[in-house]
Amino acid sequence: MICILDYGAGNLKSVVNAFRFIGAEVEVTHNAARLIQSQAVVLPGVGSFGDAAASLEQSGLRQPLLDFIASGRPFLGVCLGMQLLFDESEESPGVKGLSVFPGKIRRIPEGNGLKIPHIGWNSLTIEQPNGLFAGVTEQSYVYFVHSFYLQSPKREIVSSHTQYGVTIDSSVQHENIYATQFHPEKSGQAGLQMLKNFAKITQIGQRRKVGY
């Protein structure tokens, strides 16, 4: 079972529908105990960094989520759900992220005729053609909606990047942690392949757990 976390800042419907479309079993929950028991967790997110961080804290889900990630079971962050993995964001000065990875989320600079927020399709340069990107074609187009972006100081976790005035680290993966700045649930066949890969990773992890 893949748990999609409802903490008051998520684009839940499209994520749920996409996982169900590929035949994955999913459950939406805001219950900390259910979160801890899950095989895998998806953290979606729309809105501001500060509001999302506050929602996690106020709902009592911040520490259970960190405990789940530390357990080694598969985790997927989507859009704001990726940004929250880092220390802080220029969007919400003084607000602490989850600090799973070091780094600061920065505002996409204006200029060069580019519109902010960045809304639309951009191609990916894939740096880790495994995990979430197994079977995904290089330069696949995916769908973005954001005004803030990651340039990670920890380069080994970056699994893809894209260009939009600056180089945007568009996804990360490290051990059990997978996250995308773009929306795989809105990214056509490439995005569905990524969700299939995450579901497969979840199934493999469960088989290992029960000793298959």
- pLDDT digits 0-9 by tens, 111-130: 878 999 999 999 999 999 99
pLDDT of res. 62: 97
Q: Which of 3, 79, 88, 146 is catalytic?
A: 79
Question: Is the bond preceding residue 117 a cis peptide, omega within 30 degrees?
Answer: yes
Q: Is 90 a catalytic residue?
A: no
Mean pLDDT of 153-173: 97
Could you read off the pLDDT of 2-38 as tens digits, one per residue? 999 998 877 789 999 999 999 999 999 999 999 999 9
pLDDT for 210: 39
| In the chain, domain spans | 2-209
How far apart, in whole angstroms, are the C-alpha atoms of residue 34 and residue 45?
19
Percent of the chain with pLDDT over 90: 88
Using 50, 70 and 90 to split pLDDT, how confident is the model at 207? Answer: very low
| 79 noted as active-site residue | yes
Q: Which segment of 4-8, 105-109, 179-183, 204-208 scores lowest on mean pLDDT? A: 204-208
Q: What is the mean pLDDT of residues 47-56?
A: 94
Q: Give the CATH H-level superfamily of domain 2-209.
A: Class I glutamine amidotransferase (GATase) domain (3.40.50.880)
112 near 131, Cβ under 8 Å? no
pTM confidence score: 0.94
Confidence of residue 205 (pLDDT cuts 50, 70, 90): low
Active-site residue among 118, 146, 161, 183?
183
pLDDT of residue 50: 96
Average pLDDT, the chain: 94
Structure tokens at 206: 């469960």
Asked if the model's pLDDT at residue 65 lies above 50, the reply is yes
185 is catalytic: yes
